[in-house]
Structure formats: C-alpha cells, structure tokens
Structure 1
Amino acid sequence: MKKGINIWSFPGSMKVEQCISVAKKAGFDGIELALNETGQLSLESTESEIKEYRKTADDQGIALSSLASGLYWTYSLTSGHAQTRLKAKDIVKKQLENAAILGVDTILVVPGAVGVDFIPDSEVVPYDQAYDYALEAFNELSDVARSLKVSIGIENVWNKFLLSPLEMRDFIDKINSPYVGAYFDVGNVLYAGYPEHWISILNKRIKKVHFKDYRRAAGGLHGFVDLLAGDVNYPEVMKALQAIGYDDYVIAEMIPGYTHHGEQIIYNTSGAMDAILGRK
C-alpha cells in the first residue's frame, strides 16, 4: 500500500505548493489535494493553473493520489432544493474534469445527507427522498466519470445516510459502474461500528482509503485524535485490507484545528503510518 496525506491535514495558512513540499519532506508517497470554491485549486481555477499543481508535484517527486472536496456540505446532492442539487452535480463534474487534468484516478464525494449535527441549521431531508436523489445523481455522474476515466469514491461520513456497510454496498451495486465505488474512511465508522467489517463487506468496491483515529469515550468531533491515539484496531484494519487485496493509497486525514500541532502533525502522522504499514 502507498502512504498519502490529505491537504486538510495542513495548517490552513499554507499554500498548496508548500503542502506538497512538506508532504514530500515528511516521507509521504502521495498527497490528496482538495477542490475549493474560491482561491487556490478551486472552481475558478483555469486549466493552466491546475496543470501547475501537477508540475509542482512532479518537480518535488511526489504523487497526487486523489482529489477531495468539502463543498458537498454546502451543496448537497440530496438537497430538497433542485437548484442546490444541480449545483452539486456541476461541482462533481468539475471535480472529475480537474482530476483528469491533475492525472489522478479518483475523486472523493460526499453522497449527500439526511441531516448533519455539526452544521448548525443544516437541512433535514427524508431518508428515502435522499436515497432517491443520490441514486439518480450518481447514475448520471457515472457516465461523466467513465468518459474521463476517473472514479468517484463515495465517502462514508457523519451524514445520517448509508449508515451500514450493507447499505453502502447495495447502493454502489445499484449504480453498477466500475467508475463508482467507496472512498472508505476508517475513523468515521468507529462511533457505530468496526472498520474491518466495512472493509471486508465493501471489498473490491473500495477505491481509496482514509486513515483517521477516533476515541469513542470522547464523543462528537472531539473524539478524532492523532493516529494510534484512538480506538481503531489498526492491526485488524490492515488484515482486512490485505485480505481483499487492497494495494492502493491509504491517506491520512488529520484535522489540525482539533489537534493543535500545526505542521508537526504531518511528521507525526508519517511516523504513525509507517508503524501501521510495517515500514521501518
């Protein structure tokens, strides 16, 4: 497996180019960039600007593992408002196009939400309605993904939606596209389940993997902690990944705002991932 880190792990004041450089110095094989609404690597970016990020990574000797986006918390594919759903689909299409320019094979997409506790006044959508909206969206977007040869990874998040590995598996199977699978986040399921179970059930549907850790006793967002400081049974996670033949990126997604380590967390995380992966 290859060792990556998500750009959200870095202090928000750092430029994309700086993050790429630090990720390389810290010993990562790849870095996952993220599509923003404005600013660097955003919906406003031109093709030539996006190509520069690819060149920066190439010059540093580090791969771009994938392309994430946090925009789906604002523009949900399952919103009860048609214009919001349309905007969300347009963002997925733009993310796929930018991923193709960057030369990455997978994008991270939040599939929508029934409700979100950590966003004040977030929209609540009936579960069956959210399911239908999401299924309709991904059926449409799978054709775009196929045309660009970039996969959509549906992430399991705290969205009160696709709550079990069985439901996630069946949802992906209904779309029935080799270009739509799971972006599995290890830490996000710990409050209500066991990541090793999800891995064995989702199996070959897994496109990419996020590594996080979580302490159940803390609860809420405060439960997210540094790798190896929480309750994730990483030996079992690794066994499960090896059992399904997963050999792609495992990508750390740390949250500096919760851990207060600044840039140091990048180096700490690299060491923790070496321990998890059995690297010396």
Structure 2
Amino acid sequence: MVQLAFSTNAYTRFDLPEAIRRIADHGYDGVEILADVPHAFLADFDERDRERVLTALDETGLSVSNVNANTTRGYYDDAPPSAFFDPTLISGDEEDRRWRIDYTKAALDFAALVGAPAACVASGSALPGTPPDEAYDHLLDSLDELTDYAERVGVDLGIEFEPELLVEDTEEVLTLIDDVGSDALGVNFDVGHAAVCGEDPAESIRQCAGRITGVHLEDIAGGRGGKHYHLVPGEGDIEFDPVFGALDDIGYDGFATFELYTYPDDPDDAARRARDELADYVR
C-alpha cells in the first residue's frame, strides 16, 4: 500500500531536524529530505549535521521517502529565490558538470545513510552554447557513471521530468531510461509535472510501471496543461482518484510525497490540509 510522506522543502524557514519533527506531528509515515540549502546542502553538511538528522528520524520514527537533489541553490552565494538547477548533469562546462556528478553521488551516499530507497535529480535545461543533442550526450555520460555508483551503494536514482527542462515529459524520461540501460535508474514521478505537460497523470503512471522510484504529489490549477504552480490537493483540478487507482494497478507500494515548497509561510497548515485531503487513499 502507498504511504504518504511530506517534503522538507516546504519548511525552508526551519532547520532540518525541526522540519522532520513538524512533519511527524502531522501523522506522516515518511519525510523527503531536501539536499539543498537551508536543509542538507551536502557540500557543507558535516558529521554533526548528519547525527542531528539521524536523531530526529529515530525520535519520530519517520522513514525517508527520498533525498531530493533536484536543485543546488547552495552552490551560489547569491542564488535567486526561484528553483535553481545549475550546475547540472548537462552543463557545457566540464568542471561544473563534474561538480554536479559528485554532488549527486553525495546524495546517493546520504540516501544510503538515512535508509532512503532513492535520491532524485533533474536534467536541467540546455543553456545557450550547449545544443540539446550535445546536452543529451552529457546526460548519458553523467548517468552512466552515476548508475554504476548507485548500484554499488544500493540506492536507486530517479530522474524527475519537469516542463521546460531537457527531460520534460513521460516519453522523454522513459527513452532516457532505456538509453542508459541500468536497473538503478528510474523516474521520480511528479503528478503535477505530468499534468502541466498536458498528459493524463494516471496514464503516465501506467506507462512508467516498474520504473517509478518515488512519487511527488501536488495539485495544479487548470489540470492538464495548467500553470506550473504547486497547490495543496483540492485547490486545483487534478483528479486524484484515478492517480491512486493507477498506482494500485501497477502494484506501486512506495511513498507518495507531497511537494509543497510553495507554502513557506505556513507549511504546517499545508501539511495538515494535504494529508486530510488524500488520507482516505492510503487507509
């Protein structure tokens, strides 16, 4: 049966142990850890930080659903408030790309430490000077190395497709997985991203059967083809009954994690309302 988790990326005004404890207070079974500032930016995350996280997990009994390494705003001294992907696995600069590969390895190591089944990463966008075909070659090379590493540490790596990135929909992520050809690579399936791409999320889930490393949940106003802004379920137009029906159909029994970073002013309220809205699907 699917279990519900909540991502710490909604709790950016709290430190990571406090975010974990607050999420536990709302009755969740799992927590997704943001591998970026202000929580676990792994380039600066020392042994004491790790011990504090392990203590919070032990005290709350929460499992870690996923380590979210999609963004690396901590790389910059003056990162803007928007989600920041660069450097990425497709960066044209070899040194930047190497940094991102090594950072993703650190995320896999951290996932192994906290007992998470997977870490996720996004492709990033093909920036000026790096045509999409060249960027895709960089992505394949990066993932060849990363999947070898993931197999060694025993943690899956999920690619999260997202509108306007190099890998932005179900067809593209499944093609990528086939091209890489590693059982350690799957898709961190974001229900809202599928909807924004104009896809039927339930049908997309069925297409990804056997390849889903984790699920992100949020609502989208306008449903299929709507604007990319994460909402608490019930505030948008996604129908979640067919989504959970599809997860049941494919035998998915992992975590479904609410990703509601758009509610930094009152993440406790968002966590409570989100769970109340969809709790019946996991009872």
Q: TM-score range by the shorter chain?
A: 0.7 to 0.9
**Residues 97, 148 of structure 1: 8 Å contact kept:** yes
Residues 33-69 of structure 1, C-alpha deviation per residue, up to 9 Å, x if partnerless?
1112576553212245313312211111211221112
Shift of 1:230: 1.2
Shift of 1:219: 5.0
Percentage of matched positions with identical amino acids? 24
Q: Take 2:25 and 2:181, find their aligned partners in 1: how far apart are those partners? A: 40
- 2:244 corresponds to: 238
With over 3 angstroms needed to count, the CA separation of the structure-2 counterparts of 1:149 and 1:40, relative to structure 1, is closer
Q: Take 2:37 and 2:23, find their aligned partners in 1: how far apart are those partners? A: 23
Does 2:40 match 1:35? Answer: no
With over 3 angstroms needed to count, the CA separation of the structure-2 counterparts of 1:158 and 1:166, relative to structure 1, is closer
- 1:77 corresponds to: 89
Secondary structure of 2:67's counterpart equals: strand
TM (norm. structure 2) is 0.87
With over 3 angstroms needed to count, the CA separation of the structure-2 counterparts of 1:77 and 1:26, relative to structure 1, is same
Residues 106-165 of structure 1, C-alpha deviation per residue, up to 9 Å, x if partnerless?
0011123236xxxxxxx5742211211111110111111011001101001133323332
Shift of 1:273: 2.4
TM (norm. structure 1) is 0.88
The CA RMSD measured in Å over matched residues stands at 2.1
**Residues 220, 237 of structure 2: 8 Å contact kept:** yes
Per mean C-alpha deviation after superposition, the further-off stretch among 48-57 and 140-149 is: 48-57
252, 261, 281: which one aligns with 1:255:
261
- 2:158 corresponds to: 153
- 1:120 corresponds to: none
Amino acid in the other structure paired with 1:96? L
160, 176, 179: which one aligns with 1:171:
176
**Residues 170, 194 of structure 2: 8 Å contact kept:** no
Secondary structure of 2:42's counterpart equals: coil
Does 2:220 match 1:214? Answer: yes
**Residues 158, 188 of structure 1: 8 Å contact kept:** yes
Question: Residues 12-161 of structure 1 correspond to what in structure 2 (within 5 A)?
Answer: 12-36=12-36, 40=40, 42-69=42-69, 70-71=71-72, 73-114=85-126, 123=128, 125-161=130-166
Aligned residues between the structures: 268
**Residues 66, 118 of structure 2: 8 Å contact kept:** yes
Per mean C-alpha deviation after superposition, the further-off stretch among 210-219 and 246-255 is: 210-219
With over 3 angstroms needed to count, the CA separation of the structure-2 counterparts of 1:51 and 1:238, relative to structure 1, is same
Gap regions ≥5 residues in structure 2:
73-83
**Residues 75, 85 of structure 1: 8 Å contact kept:** yes
**Residues 54, 64 of structure 1: 8 Å contact kept:** no
Gap regions ≥5 residues in structure 1:
116-122
**Residues 86, 124 of structure 2: 8 Å contact kept:** no
